[in-house]
Amino acid sequence: MDMTLALLDRWLHIAAGVTWIGLLYYFNFVQAQAMAAAGADTDGPGPAAIGKYVAPRALLWFRWAALVTWLTGAYYLAVWPAYSLGGAFSLGIGEGNLQLTSIGIGAWLGTIMLFNVWVLIWPNQKKILGIVSATDEEKAKARRTAFLASRSNVLMSIPMLLFMQGSVHGLPMG
């Protein structure tokens, strides 16, 4: 195994993960409140300024960072000697390996979060932002779906990080 490639992959996994989770927190703790404040401000530019210029660009980075994080994580599980992709996703059942159980729980949480990004959040955000046409009723439903999926990802992000980090606690990394 080429350890340089595995370490580069790990670095990319961490960098993409920081981008993904950072944008997740930005959307939930900054942008959502800013959109509400912009909508209430009768003298300002309104929420269109954020929705037209900031949100689409941030969502582009958000969804691709999510995918890169997942792909680089899967590669890492497949090539790093202490793990296996199948072992992680089967939670180490039958192998008696708690590291696989821990990283597997983290990997499953990350997989659910990736699903939420690409299947629930992004298609609904396209309706909300007017990238695809939608009725007011469809936009209201899209807001609720995107909100719930995004908040679910926030709630899953901490245990995901803890399980993934917990899997390497005490392991020699070289």
pLDDT digits (tens, 9 = 90+) for 114-170: 999 999 999 999 999 999 999 999 999 999 999 999 999 999 999 999 998 887 764
CA angle 144, 60, 115 (to 5 degrees): 55
Closest CA to 29 of 174, 168, 150, 158: 150
pLDDT digits (tens, 9 = 90+) for 72-122: 999 999 998 778 899 999 999 988 888 899 999 999 999 999 999 999 999
Q: Domain boundaries in the chain?
A: 3-166
pLDDT digits (tens, 9 = 90+) for 49-74: 888 889 999 999 999 999 999 999 99
Q: Decide if 109 contacts 53 (C-beta within 8 A).
A: no
